[in-house]
């Protein structure tokens, strides 16, 4: 790589990190929290709103049910957090739900969870970034016309920051995440102080009314279904909880303990924020509807504000800067929520690649010890979704949640199986008591998350969730196919206990010649130096005058290698050579045919367009011919030597490593060829 490009890369991504410095990139809890919890924390920006939005279909009279819906969400959140604390202790390798389910339920259920998590991570990036851009557009209307481009730019920025490595991205994200937490709790604290002092907090929409045509009467089973739908919408607050269990390897030692502590911190902070925002929404009388036209009282030409924005305006009615700070922190946290996926997706992809379900390139770390290939893959797929859906949150949100609760439910079931297996062999009463409590917790979690999954499927399937239901089986089939391929290759390549490779009976060397020049002479010298059983030069007669001139030059130089000319009446080059080589193999199946192909090594990109096309076509054909070995004989043009000099100057230890200059190597090869010329010749 030229120095300029390398300099730019280092400026963007930072200096390379040695593998032994991996421990230095591990995260303390204060940095791990903003990295892995930004998704779950940002859900508080719209979880309460989703509950109220569904209840609005039944009119303002149903708003009081939001307290019970929020309580149910807090209960589920608590159970899930308690369960995942056990996960990180039992399975600390970073596989998270995938590992739990694979170990306890089998590979196929594990792949179902992996498919769900991969989909969820992609949607987390697409939804979070699109929501952030929508919030920015509500403040700066000019952004409305460029939402897709701005969203793609945000994804690109997040990608570059994560390619620098998790520690640096965590440090960059810590301030805004903690800023969001502080702004919400300051708002809650200030609101509580005002209420205790007798102040009245009113949202701007408190006096507004819902349009009669948008309100329906619900009773009996219809009311129950509406409440269940409202509850399922509120469970968006749980998105991102699983990220910590997938990111255990990124924590400092003791990894499991630190991950469990961070998970508990997330649970307490997130549920306190969610409960507080829901309380404030009811206290201030916020009203919200699916469509702006359904709100009577909304000024003409304006769009309704989000719940959290209305609450902030009500609390900070005498301090406008406070409301601006809350709004800005909320918009920023929505962008950073995508960072959770940028940390979870690559780790999960690495685990899946290790197990053979994804390409193995996803298992390797880049210059900065980050899983660079996984980060780029996530950015590409999420960017594609944003482009397809025009960064419209209302369309993307319908695809959300399903993947989360598929993984939640199967993980709970896997942990039940885990504790049941351990209980069979445990005799200590205290240990058994602990395991029984843990199994009960997971059983409750399984029932709750399974119920939520069913509700989400029933209420969102026709609104776009069916796409996820189609995508997950496709991803499952692709990963299963990749694993089958790797398994077949492993079986094919595995040597038996008494495997032996017999030497070829004879070696036939063929040197391809188009004209007599330095690359051709070097190829002839190299071929002769290997002392094959037979050696011949091969050319194709495309033009009779050129062929006659080549043969005359060959005889004039006295080259001690026979030159075979292949006829080509249709002026083809590749086919006659391939047919000749295949014929050699057919005559002697136990023999080895070595084809020497002279090639130019160029230093400029445009020179690639002018050279080596015939050589590339020949290699592409001959690589699929059994018993044929291809040997490229490079000839470095001056432009390539200049490029090489730019990449790496002669190192101080080059001589000690035995790396002679190209001119010295040429002299050695030439002298060897001269000394052997007399007896080397053409030996049958």
Give 507-561 pLDDT, tens digit per residue. Answer: 899 999 888 888 889 999 989 998 998 999 999 888 888 888 889 989 888 889 9
- Output the pTM of the full model: 0.70
User: 531 in the Ramachandran plot: left (φ > 0), alpha (ψ -120 to 50) or beta?
Assistant: left
Specify burial of residue 267 (Cβ count, 10 A radius: 0-12, 13-18, 19+).
buried
β 295-296/209-210 pair status: antiparallel
Encoded tokens for 169: 């991205």
CA distance 134 to 141: 10
Rg (CA), the chain: 34
Where do runs of H (alpha helix) occur along 43-145? Answer: 47-55, 65-90, 96-105, 107-139
Q: Which stretches of the chain score pLDDT less than 70?
A: 1-25, 60, 94-95, 135, 138-141, 165-173, 211-217, 246, 292, 301-303, 364-370, 394, 398, 463, 603, 605, 607-613, 640-684
Reduced to 3 states, what is the DSSP secondary structure of residue 266?
Answer: helix
Q: Give the DSSP letter of residue 367.
A: T
CA distance 20 to 350: 19
Encoded tokens for 335: 């962008």
Encoded tokens for 585: 């193999």
CA distance 18 to 361: 19
Helix H or strand E segment including 635: strand 628-636
Question: For residue 1, what pLDDT is reported?
Answer: 45
CA distance 311 to 327: 10
CB 250 within 8 A of CB 27: yes
């Amino acid at each position: 790589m030229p120095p300029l490009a390398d300099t730019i890369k280092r400026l963007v991504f930072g200096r390379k990190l040695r593998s032994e410095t991996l421990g230095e990139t591990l995260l303390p809890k204060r940095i791990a929290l903003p990295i892995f919890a930004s998704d779950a924390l940002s859900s508080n920006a719209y979880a309460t709103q989703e509950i109220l939005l569904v209840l609005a279909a039944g009119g303002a009279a149903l708003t009081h049910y939001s307290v019970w819906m929020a309580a149910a969400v807090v209960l589920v959140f608590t159970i899930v957090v308690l369960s995942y604390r056990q996960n990180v202790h039992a399975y600390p390798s970073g596989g998270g739900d995938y590992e739990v389910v694979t170990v306890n339920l089998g590979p196929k259920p594990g792949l179902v969870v992996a498919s769900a998590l991969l989909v969820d991570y992609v949607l987390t990036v697409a939804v979070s970034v699109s929501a952030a851009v929508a919030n920015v557009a509500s403040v700066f209307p000019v952004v409305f016309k460029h939402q897709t481009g701005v969203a793609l730019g945000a994804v690109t920025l997040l990608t570059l920051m994560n390619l620098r490595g998790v520690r640096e991205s965590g440090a960059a994200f810590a301030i805004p995440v903690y800023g969001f937490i502080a702004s919400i709790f300051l708002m809650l604290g200030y609101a509580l102080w005002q209420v205790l002092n007798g102040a009245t907090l009113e949202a701007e929409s408190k006096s507004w009314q819902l349009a009669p045509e948008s309100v329906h009467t619900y009773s009996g089973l219809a009311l129950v279904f509406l409440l269940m739908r409202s509850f399922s919408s509120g469970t968006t607050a749980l998105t991102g909880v699983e990220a910590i269990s997938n990111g255990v390897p990124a924590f400092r030692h003791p990894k499991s303990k630190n991950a469990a502590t961070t998970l508990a911190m997330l649970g307490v902070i997130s549920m306190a924020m969610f409960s507080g925002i829901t309380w404030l929404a009811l206290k201030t009388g916020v009203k919200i509807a699916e469509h702006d036209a359904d709100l009577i009282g909304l000024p003409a030409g304006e769009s309704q504000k989000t719940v959290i924005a209305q609450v902030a305006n009500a609390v900070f009615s005498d301090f406008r800067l406070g409301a601006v700070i809350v709004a800005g922190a909320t918009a920023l946290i929505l962008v950073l929520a995508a960072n959770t996926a940028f940390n979870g997706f690559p780790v999960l992809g690495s685990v899946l690649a290790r197990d053979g379900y994804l390409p193995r390139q996803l298992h390797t770390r880049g210059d900065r010890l980050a899983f660079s290939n996984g980060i780029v893959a996530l950015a590409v797929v999420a960017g594609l979704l944003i482009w397809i859906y025009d960064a419209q949150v209302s369309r993307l949100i319908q695809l959300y949640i399903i993947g989360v609760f598929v993984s939640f439910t199967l993980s709970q079931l896997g942990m039940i199986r885990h504790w049941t297996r351990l209980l069979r062999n445990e005799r200590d009463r205290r240990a058994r008591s602990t395991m029984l409590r843990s199994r009960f917790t997971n059983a409750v979690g399984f029932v709750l998350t399974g119920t939520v999954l069913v509700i989400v499927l029933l209420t969102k399937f026709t609104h776009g969730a069916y796409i996820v239901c189609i995508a997950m089986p496709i991803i499952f089939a692709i990963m299963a196919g990749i694993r089958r391929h790797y398994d077949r290759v492993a079986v094919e390549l595995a040597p038996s206990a008494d495997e032996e490779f017999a030497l070829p009976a004879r070696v036939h060397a063929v040197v391809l010649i188009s004209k007599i020049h330095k690359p051709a002479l070097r190829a002839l010298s190299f071929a002769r130096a290997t002392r094959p059983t037979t050696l011949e030069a091969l050319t194709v007669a495309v033009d009779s005058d050129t062929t006659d001139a080549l043969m005359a030059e060959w005889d004039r130089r006295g080259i001690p290698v026979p030159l075979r000319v292949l006829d080509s009446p249709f002026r083809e080059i590749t086919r006659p050579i391939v047919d000749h080589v295949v014929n050699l193999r057919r005559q002697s199946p136990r023999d080895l045919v070595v084809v020497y192909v002279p090639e130019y090594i160029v230093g400029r990109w445009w020179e690639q367009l002018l050279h080596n096309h015939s050589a590339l076509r020949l290699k592409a054909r001959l690589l699929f011919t059994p018993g044929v070995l291809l040997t490229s004989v490079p000839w470095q043009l001056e432009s390539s030597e200049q490029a090489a000099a730019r990449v790496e100057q002669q190192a101080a230890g080059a001589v000690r490593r035995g790396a002679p200059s190209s001119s010295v190597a040429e002299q050695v090869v030439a002298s060897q060829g001269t000394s052997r010329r007399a007896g080397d010749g053409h030996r049958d």
